[in-house]
Homo-oligomer: A and B are copies of this chain.
């Protein structure tokens, strides 16, 4: 007996370990072949050297938060776990790998791949939707080195864009404010089909309210929004095209036989009104036909795009005529969308027009008609609109949001930190690229006011930091940066999300809605100066004194000593 869960997984009724069964990756293209060729050549070289089963620990982390900011929202974990849970080669995969290795691998290796899955892998991670910082591992993968290596590219791919776009969405939310409706409209400009689908999902996670993307709505239960485009407006030529002109009233008691005439009557009334008529002469009648037709199809949620011909001279008066006609039949129009021009100015003018209608015709609430704005919006334009003053209630954001135009990639990496219980590190001429060795435990320490103070990494066997106990937190590479911290609350960051065939309990994957709520809650726990757009305060990521010493001991040990002659 299996029970359906919200995120599409089913509950397995298998006695002791009542964990939900994990579904396959959302995108069927996510298979063990979605990786770099060198993962296979390396796996083969490990296998040839008899090293492939050596137990390795890899950290997945990034080195810098995107968008010149100081924080990142972690996304993509669920897809990583789905991928790991279903990691298995088909015979077709094997055949292709044999070809790809150009006959340079032994059949024994292919037999090894045939039997491979992630039953010997364990995955620890920070919960999805958390606010995260540079160098602290988001995911720790433990397992046979060859298997962990084969997972690398896919995991990094699944986390990079998810986290990037979730962060972008959170930043847009922050600048727009919590009282605005944020709609993601990016599918057409996204980087391919699932660039669009992923963007819709992770924008919702990062704080958006809805998407226009029907496929994403279906896959993830995200609320859907959308009305009509310019093409709909320009497809109409005149009011004569409307054949069925009747509209039943909202309460179903009466029927208006000629809704078109009712609209025309209202347009004339509005045009005659002194202080309104100054701004416009004849409106575009093909636009009026389109609005009327759309209202006949959707009388209960009439929202019109008003900038196909001219916003103030045509779109808004036409909209108001239809809205007032609908009102006569007991319907309440929803509002307008502006998709070009000076959005601050036009939204203010539109608001004035609506308020004038409210006053002139005594229609309470008409002045509060919803105004949606779209057209190449981004963090910066939202900020400018705020500064200028505007009357927009909802923002439809596409291109800049979903492609993360301001910074199109996040640089997550996957680094070996331990093998056969031996700590390993990668050196680099660039200190920021040096990896932190050892299997680690990670904590977030909170202060008196409830805000996070610092993230701390310690060696696996060190004692955990304790509440109200002073602990030295050191910058991993900069000797002089260190601070004593007395935490009021200590949060261990890693949870086990995949335990292979071991007996360890693992976390269930929360629903997207829960992940979204976690994200909102986490952002509230951050001191606002870490989150601000301009010159945010750097959040401190630190290591214990013991780990610090070990890093620098190993560094000296691995780096070759130069000789100058």
Contacts and interface: CB of A to CB of B under 8 A. Distances in A.
A142 to B, nearest CB: 14
Among A28, A157, A213, which residue has the most Cβ atoms of chain B within 10 A? A157
Contact of A48 (B145, B188, B297): B297
B284 A224 contact: no
Interface in A250-301: 278-284, 286, 293-294, 296-298, 300-301
Given A50-B243, A232-B42, A297-B48, A185 B36 contact: yes
A402 to B, nearest CB: 8
Nearest to A190: B157
Contact of A96 (B49, B56, B218, B425): B218
Interface in A464-500: none
B187 A34 contact: yes
Interface in A47-82: 48-51, 54, 56, 58
A149 interface: yes
Contacts of A36: 185, 187-188, 212-214, 226
B284 A558 contact: yes
B194 A56 contact: no
A191 B198 contact: yes
A144 to B, nearest CB: 11
Interface residues of A, number: 132
Interface string A176-217: 000000000101111111111111000000000000111101
Contacts of A411: 189, 399
Contacts of A45: 228, 232, 293-294, 296-298
B296 A49 contact: yes
Contact of A340 (B165, B188, B429): B429
A174 to B, nearest CB: 21
Nearest to A34: B215
A217 B100 contact: yes
A192 B198 contact: yes
B309 A215 contact: no
B194 A560 contact: no
Interface stretch (A5-13, A234-242, A359-367): A234-242
A80 to B, nearest CB: 12
Nearest to A25: B193
Contact of A197 (B34, B231, B293, B409): B34
A364 to B, nearest CB: 25
Contacts of A217: 37, 96, 100
A561 interface: yes
Given A54-B235, A215-B31, A314-B560, A156 B188 contact: yes
A17 to B, nearest CB: 30
A38 B226 contact: yes
A89 to B, nearest CB: 12
A268 B108 CA distance: 35
Interface string A395-425: 0000100011101111110111001101011
A556 interface: no
Among A193, A308, A407, which residue has the most Cβ atoms of chain B within 10 A? A193
Contacts of A308: 426-427
16 contacts: A27-B193, A36-B187, A49-B241, A157-B189, A157-B190, A194-B195, A195-B195, A230-B416, A231-B426, A234-B416, A235-B416, A278-B565, A313-B560, A341-B430, A399-B411, A403-B409
Interface of A: 27-31, 33-42, 44-46, 48-51, 54, 56, 58, 96-97, 100, 104, 145, 149, 152-154, 156-158, 160-162, 165, 185, 187-199, 212-215, 217-218, 224-232, 234-237, 241-244, 278-284, 286, 293-294, 296-298, 300-301, 307-310, 313-314, 340-341, 399, 403-405, 407-412, 414-416, 419-420, 422, 424-430, 433, 558-563, 565
Closest 3 CB pairs of A and B: A38-B226, A37-B226, A45-B297
Given A34-B213, A191-B409, A281-B562, 17 more contacts: A28-B29, A33-B214, A34-B215, A37-B214, A41-B298, A45-B294, A45-B297, A152-B188, A152-B231, A160-B188, A188-B412, A279-B563, A280-B560, A283-B560, A309-B560, A310-B560, A399-B411
